[in-house]
Chain A
Amino acid sequence: MVAEANVSKQNLQRQRTLQTLRTVFMPLGQLLLFIVGSAAVLGLIVVVVAFFLSRSDPKIMQTAIAILPQVMIDGMVRGFLFATIALGYTMVYGVLEFINFAHGEIFMVGGFVGAGVAYLLMQWGLLSTLPWIVFIVIAIVMGMTVSGLLAMATERVAYRPLRNSPRLVPLISAIGMSLVLQDVVRLIATSSPLGFNARFETPNFGKPFQIASIPLGERAIPVQISPKAVIFIVAAMLMLLALNYLVNATRLGKAIRAVAQDRATASLMGINVNQIISLTFLIGGALGGAAGVLFGMNIGTVNPYMGFIPGLKAFTAAVLGGIGNITGAMVGGIVLGFLEAFVASYLSLFTGGAFSGASYADIAAFSILILILIFRPEGLLGESTTQKV
C-alpha cells in the first residue's frame, strides 16, 4: 500500500513537473511559430509584389530578394525590443486593468542606469578587461533593480492613492508620472558627466556575425547580425521563460493570478493585495529596465526622451497581442517589429522612391494594425472580454 501510494505520488509529481514544463515552454513554441509565420507571410507578400513590379524593372526583384534575409533579422530584433517592453504593460494591465503610461520612462531609466554602470566601469578601467558576459550581467542586474524599485515607488506614490477613483484618474496620473520621470532624468543626466545624449560604452563585442552573402550584380550583400542583437534576443527569450515560470508555476504567480481575477476575493483568501500589486510593478519594472539596458547597449546611446516612442509602440504591441496575456505581448511585439521593418525597407523600393519607407513606416504599420484589430478586437492571443480602459 505504502509503495503504491509512493508510486502514485511520484506519478503525480512527474505529471506536475511535465505540466509546469509545458506551461513554461509552450509560449516559446508559440512565439517561434509566430516569428516563422510572420516572416513567411510578409516574405511571400514581398516576393509576389516584387514579381509583379519586376515586369517593368527586373532589378526590383533582385534587390528585393537580396535584402530579404537582412530585413527579417532587422524585424526580429526590433520585434523583440517592443516585446520586452510590452511585457511590463501587459503585466500591470493583467492585474490592475490599468495602463501604466510611465512604463516607457521606466524602460528609459534602465537604459540610463546601464549607461551609467558602463561609464563607471570605463572610468575604473575595467570595461575592456571584464569578460563581456560579466559586464552584461552587472548592467542588467543594476538596471533591473533600479527600474523595478522605481516602478514600485511610482505605484506607491502616484497610483495606489487613486486606486478606487474613476478609471481615468490614475491614467492621467500615469501620464503625469511619465513627464516627471523624463525631466527628472534629464536634470540628473545633464548635471552628471553622462550628459543629455549619453553614450553607452560597451566592451568590444567584435564584428557582426556574417550569416550569408547574397550576390547582387557584381557585388555581394552580406546578411549579418550583430553580437549585441543576439544577446538581446537570447535575453528576451530568457525573460519570457522566467516570467512564464514565475506566473504559472510559483505560489507568487498563483497569488498574482488570483489578484488579477478578483481582488476582493483574493484578499479574503489571505492574499495581501497591496503587496502583490507592488510586486507586479516590481517585476514589470525590472523587465522594462532590463529591456532598457539591452536596447541602450544595442544602439549605443541613450537620452531622457528615448522611452516615449518605443513605449507607445510597445503598448500597441501589447494590445495587438491581447493585453493582459504575456505570450500575447511578445507575439504582438514581434508582429509589429516585422511590419515596421518590412515597410521601412520595401516601401521606397516598391514605389520607385516616391514614398520614403523610413518616414512612412509608422503609418503603414499602424494601418495594418488597425485592420488586424478590426477583425480581431481582442488581439491575436487575447480572450474576448468586455473590459475597456
Chain B
Amino acid sequence: MKRIVSLIVLVGVLMSLLAACGSTPAASPTAAPATAAPATAEATAEATAEATAEATETAEATPAAMTVVEYILATAAGMTPEAAAALGTIKIASQSPLSGDQSALGTGIRNGVELAIEQANTALAGSGVEIAFAPFDDQAQPEVGSANAKNIVSDPDILCTVGHLNSGVALASLPDYSNANLVMISPANTNPKITESGYANAFRVVGRDDLQGPIGARFAQESGVKTVYILHDKTDYGQGVAEFFKLEAEKLGIEVLAFEGTDEKSDFSSILTNIQAANPDMIYFGGLYPQAGPLLRQARDRGIMAQFLGPDGLDSPELAKLAGDALEGTFYTTVAAPVSQFPNAAQYATDYTTKFNGAAPPFSAQAYDSAAFCQAAIVTAAVEANGKPTREQVLAAMKSLPALSGITGTYSFSEKGDPNPATYYIFSTNSDPALWDQNELTSKIESAPPTE
C-alpha cells in the first residue's frame, strides 16, 4: 500500500515537472516578425533613394571611402543592357533564429537584410537589377542551420548569405557553404574560428573575440593603469581572453601582478586577500557575469576599489542585478554596440522603426551592412561576367571589393575575411539592471585583424 502511494506521489511529481518543462518554451517570448505596411515602406524607400542620390552627388567631391550604396549604383551603371536582361532571379539568403528565445536578435538580422535589399532594389530600379530575399530560420541550433545551408546551396539563384547570430551555428553551416563556394557574411559571429578555419567564403563585419583582450589592455593603458591583477574562470573563453590581455598589457608596459584562474563561484575571500596585498590599479576578469557579480560585490565590500574590466561576458543586465552598487568603476569591452552608437545609422534606425514597428535590435545594422556588401559583390561580379554571375565569381568579387563605408563603419576585408578595421567598444556599467541598454560608451578603439 505504502509503496503504491509513494509510487503515485513520484509519478505525480514527474508529471508536474514534465508539464512545467513543457510550458516553458511556450512562455518564452517569440518575437513576431513585424509585417510591413506596404504603403509606408515604399514611401520610405523612395525617400531613402532620393536621399542616397543626393548623397552620391555630394560625396563625389570627397575622396574618402565610398558608401556601399554609391558603389553599387556606380557599378550597376556600367552594366550593359544585355547583361542586365540575362541576370534573371538573384537571391540573397539570411539565416538567423526567427523562433525561440533568441528570436528578438535573429529577427532583427532578418529585417536588416530585408531593408537593405528593398532599399537597393528601389535605388537600382532603372538598371534592371532586382534582388530577391530568402530568409531562413536556424532556430539557433547547429543542426537546423546545417540543414538550411544544404537547402540554400541547392538553390542556384542564391548567390550570397547573411548569417548567423550564433557562432556555433555558423561553424556547423560553413562546410556546406564552402563546398558550394557561397559567400557567407556574418553580422554577429565573433568567434575567431569563423575566419580562422580556412573557409575562403567566410566574411564578417564584426570584430573578433580574441582581440577583446588586447583592446582591454589598450584601454587600461589609456586610462592610466600601471598595475593589473588578472583573474580568469579557466574556460576556453575566459582564460583565452585573459591570456591575450596579459600579452598585450606586458607589451604596453603595464605590470601584471598575478595571473590566476579559479572556478570558485561564490566565495572569493582567498583571492581577495591576495588582491588586497597586491593593491593593483585594475582587476581584469576573463569570465562571465555570474562569477563576476559576487566577485565584485565581495571585493567592494572589502574596500578594494581598483578599476574592474572584463570582456563581453560581463555584458548582461544580470550583472547589475548581482553586483548592484558595487559596479562603480566597472567596464567591459564588446564588439557589439547598440544601433544608437553608429552616427551613420540614424536614417537606418528611423527606417527600421517605420517598417517594422519597433526599435532596431543589436546586430541588425550589421546585418544591413552585410547585405549591402553582398549586393556590392553580386553587382560587381555581374558586370564582370556580363550576365548572371556564378558563386565563384561573387566570391572573387567579394575579395576584391575596395574599402567601402556602410552604416556601421568603413570596412575592407582581410585575406581571411575579417573586417579591417573592426571597431571595439568599451562601456562603463550602470548599476540599474533596467537601464543596462543605456550603459555609457567610454571609449571606442579601432583595430586591424591579427595578421598571423
A residues sitting closer than 8 Å to B (CB atoms) are: 63, 66-67, 70-71, 74, 77-78, 81, 156-157, 160-161, 180, 183-184, 187, 191, 195, 197, 199, 207-208, 216, 219, 221-222, 224, 226, 295, 298-301, 303, 306, 309, 340-341, 344-345, 348-349, 353, 356-359, 361
Asked if residues B260 and A357 are in contact (CB atoms below 8 Å), the reply is yes
Pair A81/B267 contact, Cβ less than 8 Å:
yes
Contacts A187-B21, A197-B318 given; indicate if A303 touches B290 (C-beta within 8 A): yes
Residues of B within 8 A of A199 (CB): 293, 321-322, 324
A359 close to B263 (CB less than 8 A)? yes
Residues on B with C-beta less than 8 A from A77 are 267, 269
- A356 adjacent to B261 (CB under 8 Å): yes
Instruction: Give chain A residues whose Cβ lies under 8 Å from the Cβ of B9.
Output: 157
* Interface residue stretch chosen among B114-122, B159-167, B298-306: B298-306
28 residue pairs of the A-B complex, CB under 8 angstroms, read A67-B276, A77-B269, A78-B267, A157-B9, A157-B10, A157-B13, A180-B13, A180-B17, A191-B20, A191-B27, A195-B318, A199-B293, A207-B303, A208-B301, A208-B302, A221-B276, A299-B266, A299-B267, A300-B294, A300-B297, A301-B322, A303-B265, A340-B270, A357-B274, A358-B261, A359-B234, A359-B260, A359-B262
- Tell whether, in the assembled complex, residue B2 and residue A161 are in contact, meaning their CB atoms are under 8 Å apart: yes
Point out the residues of chain B lying under 8 angstroms from A306, CB to CB.
265-266
Structural contact, B324 and A345, CB atoms closer than 8 A: no
Pair B290/A345 contact, Cβ less than 8 Å: no
Q: List, in ascending order, chain A residues with CB within 8 A of B234's CB.
A: 359
Determine the distance from Cα of A81 to Cα of B267 in the docked complex, in whole angstroms.
10
Interfacial chain B residues near A341, Cβ < 8 Å: 269-270
**B24 proximity list for chain A (CB < 8 A):** 187, 191
- How far is A361 from B267 in the complex, measured between Cα atoms in Å? 13
Chain A residues with Cβ below 8 Å from B13 are: 157, 180
Within 8 A of A (CB), among B206-261: 231, 234, 258-261
Task: Kindly state whether residue B273 has any CB partner on chain A within 8 Å.
Answer: yes
Given A78-B267, A191-B27, A222-B276; 11 other pairs, CB 8 A cutoff: A70-B276, A74-B270, A157-B6, A191-B24, A199-B324, A221-B276, A226-B301, A295-B266, A299-B297, A300-B297, A301-B322
B274 touches A67 (CB 8 A): yes
Bound: A157/B263 CA distance, A: 34
- A161 to B6 CA separation, bound complex (whole angstroms): 8
A306 to B263: give the CA distance in the assembly, Å: 12
Overall SS of chain B's interface: helix
Q: Does B148 contact A (CB under 8 A)?
A: no
Secondary structure type dominating chain A contacts? helix
Taken together as a complex, chains A and B put the C-alpha atoms of A187 and B13 apart, in Å, by 13
With A and B bound together, what is the CA distance between A67 and B271 in angstroms? 11
Which of chain A's residues have a CB closer than 8 A to the CB of B276? 67, 70, 221-222
- Chain B, 260-286, contact with A by CB distance < 8 Å: what is the 0/1 string? 111111110111011011010000000
Expressed in whole angstroms, the Cα–Cα distance for A191 and B25 within the complex equals: 12
Q: Known: A161-B2, A221-B276, A300-B294. Is A344-B271 also a contact (CB below 8 A)? A: yes
| Contact of B17 with A184 in the complex, beta carbons under 8 Å | yes
- Decide if A187 touches B20 in the complex (CB within 8 Å): yes
CA distance A156 to B5 in the complex (A): 11
Is the beta-carbon distance between B321 and A195 smaller than 8 angstroms? yes
Residue of B nearest to A69 (CB): B273
3 cross-chain pairs, A with B, having the tightest CB-CB distances, nearest first: A344-B270, A358-B262, A356-B260
Please name the residue on chain A nearest to B262 by beta carbon.
Answer: A358
Considering the chains assembled together, what is the distance between the CA atoms of A301 and B290 in angstroms? 9
Residues of chain A within 8 A of B322, CB atoms compared: 197, 199, 300-301
Bound-state CA distance A187–B260 (Å) is: 34
**Chain A residue, CB-CB nearest to B270:** A344
Cα distance, A5 to B9, chains bound together (Å): 58
User: Given contacts A63-B277, A161-B6, is CB(A71)–CB(B270) below 8 Å?
Assistant: yes
Given that A70-B276, A74-B270 are known contacts, is A359 also in contact with B20, CB under 8 Å in the complex?
no
Partner of B266 from the list A74, A219, A226, A301 (CB cut-off 8 Å) is A301
CB contacts (< 8 Å) of A298 on chain B: these are 267
Given contacts A300-B297, A340-B270, contact A348 B258 (CB under 8 A): yes
By a CB distance below 8 angstroms, the chain A residues around B301 are 208, 226
CA–CA, A195 and B321, complex, Å: 10
Instruction: Name B322-354 residues within 8 Å CB distance of A.
Output: 322, 324
From residue B257, how far is it (CB to closest CB) to chain A in Å?
9
For residue B298, which residues in chain A have a CB less than 8 angstroms away from its CB? 299-300
Contact (A345, B270) CB under 8 Å given A195-B321, A358-B261: yes
For the complex, give the distance between the alpha carbons of A140 and B352 in Å.
52
| Residue ID in chain B nearest A219 by CB atoms | B279
Q: Are A208 and B303 in touch, CB under 8 angstroms? A: yes
Give chain B residues whose Cβ lies under 8 Å from the Cβ of A208: 301-303
Q: Is the CB of B258 within 8 A of A353?
A: yes
- Residue among A67, A191, A358 with most chain B CB within 10 A: A358
- Closest residue to A359 on the B side, CB-wise? B261
Residues on B with beta carbons closer than 8 Å to the beta carbon of A353: 258-259
- Which of chain B's residues have a CB closer than 8 A to the CB of A340? 270
A56 to B296, CA, bound (A): 35
CA A377 – CA B193 in complex, angstroms? 50
Whose C-beta in chain B lies nearest to the C-beta of A341? B270
Shortest Cβ distance from A320 into chain B, in angstroms? 19
List, in ascending order, chain A residues with CB within 8 A of B21's CB.
187
Determine the residue in chain A with the shortest Cβ distance to B233: A359
Central interface residue in B264, B274, B276, B294, by most chain A CB within 10 Å = B274
Q: Which residue of B lies closest to A71 (CB)?
A: B273
Residues from chain A with a CB closer than 8 A to the CB of B324 are: 199
A187: chain B residues within 8 A (beta carbon)? 17, 20-21, 24
Closest to A362 in B: B263
Q: Using Cβ atoms and an 8 Å threshold, which residues of chain B touch A216?
A: 277
Shortest distance from the beta carbon of A119 to any chain B beta carbon, whole Å: 11
Q: How far is the CA of A212 from the CA of B273 in the complex (A)?
A: 14
Q: How far is the CA of A222 from the CA of B272 in the complex (A)?
A: 12
Complex Cα–Cα for A81 and B264 (A): 14
Chain B: minimal CB distance from A294 (Å):
12
Contact of A361 among B2, B270, B279, B297 (CB under 8 A): B270
Closest to B17 in A: A184
The residues of B that contact A161 with a CB separation of less than 8 Å are 2-3, 6
B267 with A356: CB separation less than 8 A: no
Contacts known (A199-B321, A299-B298, A301-B294); A358 close to B259, Cβ less than 8 A: no
Task: Write out, one digit per residue, whether chain B residues 1-16 have a CB within 8 A of any chain A CB (1) or not (0).
Answer: 0110010011001000
Q: How far is the CA of A180 from the CA of B6 in the complex (A)?
A: 16
A74 touching B273, Cβ below 8 Å: yes
Does the CB pair A358–B267 fall under 8 Å? no
Q: How far is the CA of A216 from the CA of B279 in the complex (A)?
A: 11
Q: In the complex, A151 Cα to B267 Cα: how many Å? A: 25
Q: Is the CB of A301 within 8 A of B302?
A: no
